[in-house]
A and B are shown apart, each in its own frame.
Chain A
């Protein structure tokens, strides 16, 4: 039976925990709105870009002269997995779901006899993968100093990935991130970025009418590296929104749990206090009777 003093300090400590989680939830809510706005703002660009790329890819895609970024190296022996996670924890299952998906893919690819390389973006994913797959790490991108993810960050990652591709380090690249669905639901997603595939490629018929300046292939080889950066940027933004959403709901849960705990402890505290009072009364009364 804990003493009154123990209970009191226990209640105080849970109360301050609740204050912290409450504050974190509100910060996450504010950041979530900003992250969602950023994702919203980038959408017109991404959509247009993909539409144009789909048209271009459809008209050039099948010829032998298609750039390697589009057609691939002709092999799929070595896979590069770009695993994007958060820099910070306390966001529910956010990091674990991405890592789980990546682990699954690593196991599949290894079982199929492929070589796997891992590039991590964000500290948390690196920590979780280090135990089993440290030998597969080829690099790490640290975004902990970055307050607001910008296109420049995506370009840096893209440059890193493209450099490795040009050096022949891998054949297929896939990015792993959480697609933002809602505050309570984020979907871990794997998206292949090299060789590139674009949604909506069927509408290629209409774009065949375009004049290209300079020629189609020059444009394509100019735009493909940008497409990689654009896709990484979109993934980073989705990930950012998902992280804040996940943190918000995790902190909401934590706040509610702390509230329940405080209630339970308060009842226990009151009961104990009552018992102490009753005890004292009994002692006084029986003391008086004994006289």
Chain B
């Protein structure tokens, strides 16, 4: 069995990465998972987090804010809503993400739908967690 798989990371605005990878660690909505060659075909949605690609030459890390991943035995395609290399992730970008998530939380609270509130609260928490993994500290969102 081949020990590498085809890997693509695309966002609506550009193709960020493409190539061979040994394993891809994906922040799935239902929990983290690692895709390697020969993985069972799976489609999962993403939560905000760090996507880690272990390639033949090194490891790349990308911050993704959502989207979904399509995994098959031969490869993995990550369709991220927004994605950027962790190195390019700035405090401003993180603050922007957290602020947007907080806005949603506020809107959800206004609407009074508890499911929406839970979803949005999780989104905020995920964003903050993503920031701390990237070595940044999110300003505590004012709820």
A interface residues (Cβ-Cβ under 8 A, vs B): 38, 41-42, 44-46, 48-49, 52, 56, 150-151, 154, 209-214, 218-219, 222-223, 226, 230, 233
Distance between B81 CB and nearest chain A CB, rounded to angstroms: 7
The verdict on B129 contacting chain A, using a C-beta distance below 8 Å, is no
Contact across chains for B12 and A233 when beta carbons are under 8 A apart: yes
The verdict on B77 contacting chain A, using a C-beta distance below 8 Å, is yes
Q: Which residues of A contact B81 (CB under 8 A)?
A: 151, 226
Return the contact of A45 from the options B11, B41, B42 (Cβ within 8 A): B11
Contact across chains for B11 and A219 when beta carbons are under 8 A apart: no
The verdict on B25 contacting chain A, using a C-beta distance below 8 Å, is no
Return the contact of B44 from the options A56, A209, A212 (Cβ within 8 A): A212
Closest 8 CB pairs of A and B: A213-B44, A151-B12, A211-B42, A41-B14, A45-B10, A210-B41, A44-B10, A45-B12
Cα A151 to Cα B28 in complex, Å, equals: 22
Contact across chains for B45 and A219 when beta carbons are under 8 A apart: yes
Distance between B51 CB and nearest chain A CB, rounded to angstroms: 15
Cα A38 to Cα B29 in complex, Å, equals: 29
Q: Which residues of B contact A230 (CB under 8 A)?
A: 12
Chain B interface bracket (under 10, 10 to 19, 20 to 34, 35 or more) = 20 to 34
| A151 and B11 contact, Cβ closer than 8 Å, known pairs A48-B77, A209-B41 | yes
B interface residues (Cβ-Cβ under 8 A, vs A): 8, 10-15, 28-30, 33, 40-45, 67-68, 70, 77, 79, 81-82
Q: Which residues of B contact A41 (CB under 8 A)?
A: 13-15
Q: Which residues of B contact A151 (CB under 8 A)?
A: 11-13, 81-82
Q: Which residues of B contact A38 (CB under 8 A)?
A: 13
Contact across chains for A210 and B43 when beta carbons are under 8 A apart: yes
- Extra A-B contacts (13), CB below 8 Å, given A213-B43, A226-B67: A41-B14, A42-B13, A48-B10, A49-B79, A56-B43, A151-B82, A213-B45, A214-B30, A218-B45, A219-B45, A222-B45, A223-B68, A230-B12
